[in-house]
Structure 1
Amino acid sequence: MVRIGGDISRVRRSACRSAGGFTLIDVLVTMVVISVLIGIMLPSLAVVKETTQRVVCSSNVRQLGLGVSMFADDNDGLLPKSTFLNRRFGRLPSEMTRLRISSNSSFSSRIADGQTGVATWDGLGRLFDGEYLETQGIFYCPSHNGQHTLESQLEAWNSQNRDILGNYQYRGEGPDGDRRLFQIIPRRTSIISDSIRSEEDLNHDAGMNVLRADLAVFWFSELDDQVLALLRSHTRDSTDQLWGRLDGFVSSGSN
């Protein structure tokens, strides 16, 4: 009887040890469940990341607008000038994402004036040069996946005579060509936006942040076929039409 009892006791202890471990099937099932959960969560995490980056981008655009406003206050209402507003040389306003222009660049106004060896700050870049904005990151959207990320431009920033490109489009004037901020009707005019330099330079897949002249920021989500066609055109007229489209949007007060 004692022997039988001892056997029963050993069987029970063995069963307890088996019940406390994991079989291969348990591990495989757990891995499958985890994989399914990750698959469900990843799209949500991507949405959260883009939403966060969009908020940072909106803040950048607003700070650029504040910089433009401070610059205008110090310069008799004048907006930061840009060589790309000079129609005489056939300059393209779509290039007004450029912050600095190398003296060796075909865009350099100093070449036309016979000056060489000196890079020219342009458009929004004048805000950095004038110390209205002192952080390089403000000029770059965290959602940008094109060729002009902050990381890709750091070498140019550290150089004395290199082109520097940012991720935000500067207009530099009102719809009627006014270049003094107080002459522009604020609620009808967009003055800064995410890049509209080309389709490849779009910062976001679903839209863009747009700054109205009264410093209100709007999210423009109408990236339809017409807008994309204008982005591909890369002409002065196409850029003017894009700004006109953004003007109509911000005038409606939609967001």
Structure 2
Amino acid sequence: MRAAAKDHRPGFTLTEMLVVVGILAAIAGLSFPLVHSALRSAHRVHCVSNLRQIGVGLEVYLQDHGKRMPDLATGRESRDEREDVIEVALADYLSNPDIFYCHADEGEYQRTGSSYAWNSVVSGRLISRLEFFGSRDEKGIPLVYDKENWHEEGGDEVGTNILYADGGASNEINFSIDE
């Protein structure tokens, strides 16, 4: 008499399954910081793009107002305040109010209506008369910038986004003025 054949079903053993789960967990653990860093970088790029669009709206505003900068407050504490601010001054010049929202913003936009602040030092001035700490170089005169420093990674500061008088926008780690 022959011995009964043992039932053998194809599949994974518990050990094999634990090894696969362990490998997947290790890959996820290694990739999370990379994904997080890429997301932060995308936020910075998006915010700089917003500032460039604000710059285009501001240029049209300047054409309509004799090349004179709007006379604005730096920002407001809440949306309820009736303060002349950049998002109000450019509302008719920009098609989407969300341009004033930086995705790295942690609540400022919801509270005040903008993630960005206006450099009130240039308020009401003719574009040809702009000056910032003695410098007349438009590439170094900030007009609009992040209200807060949302662009940090792991406690490391990676800069603030700034729109300059020449229309350029960039992320700056250290701001300096060229004379």
Asked if these proteins are the same fold (TM beyond 0.5), I'd say: yes
Return the offset for 1:167. Answer: 1.1
Structure 1: give runs of 5+ residues left out of the alignment.
85-95, 106-118, 154-163, 196-200, 223-245
Distance, in Å, in 1 between the alignment partners of 2:12 and 2:143 is 63
Query: Which of these two proteins has the greater Rg computed from alpha carbons?
Result: 1
Quote the Cα distance in structure 2 between the aligned partners of 1:132 and 1:178: 18
Q: Distance in 1 between matches of 2:15 and 2:28?
A: 20
SS in 1 for 2:11: coil
Report the Cα distance in structure 1 between the residues aligned to 2:149 and 2:139, rounded to whole angstroms: 24
Equivalent in the alignment of 2:88: 125
Provide Cα deviations, 1:16-67, integer angstroms capped at 9, x if missing partner.
x2xx211222222211111111000000000111111111100011111111
Q: Report deviation, 1:178.
A: 6.9
Q: Does the CA-based 8 Å contact 1:98-1:122 persist in structure 2?
A: yes
Within 5 Å, which residues of 2 pair with 1:145-160? 145=106, 147-149=107-109, 152-153=110-111
Q: TM-score by structure 2 length?
A: 0.80
**For 1:202, which of 149, 155, 161 is the aligned residue?**
149
Residue number in structure 2 paired with 1:183: 129
Distance change (3 Å), C-alpha of 1:101 and 1:37: closer
Corresponding residue to 2:171 among 216, 219, 222: 219
User: 5+ residue gaps in structure 2?
Assistant: 131-135, 153-157
Higher percent of residues as helix: 1
Native 8 Å contact 1:57 1:209 kept in 2: yes
Q: Residue 31 of structure 1 is aligned with which of 21, 39, 42?
A: 21
Q: What's 2:38 paired with? A: 48
- Asked whether the equivalents of residues 79 and 179 of structure 1 are also in contact (C-alpha less than 8 Å), the reply is yes
Tell me, yes or no, if the aligned pair for 2:85 and 2:118 is still in contact at 8 Å: no
- 1:29–1:40 CA distance, 2 compared to 1 (3 A): same
Deviation at residue 126 of structure 1 after TM alignment: 0.8
Q: CA deviation at 1:173?
A: 4.0
SS at match of 1:44: helix
Aligned counterpart, 2:117: 169
SS in 2 for 1:214: coil
Deviation at 1:100, TM superposition (A): 7.6
Change (3 A) 1:43 1:60: same
| 1:22 has 2:2 as partner | no
Percent of pairs identical after alignment?
22
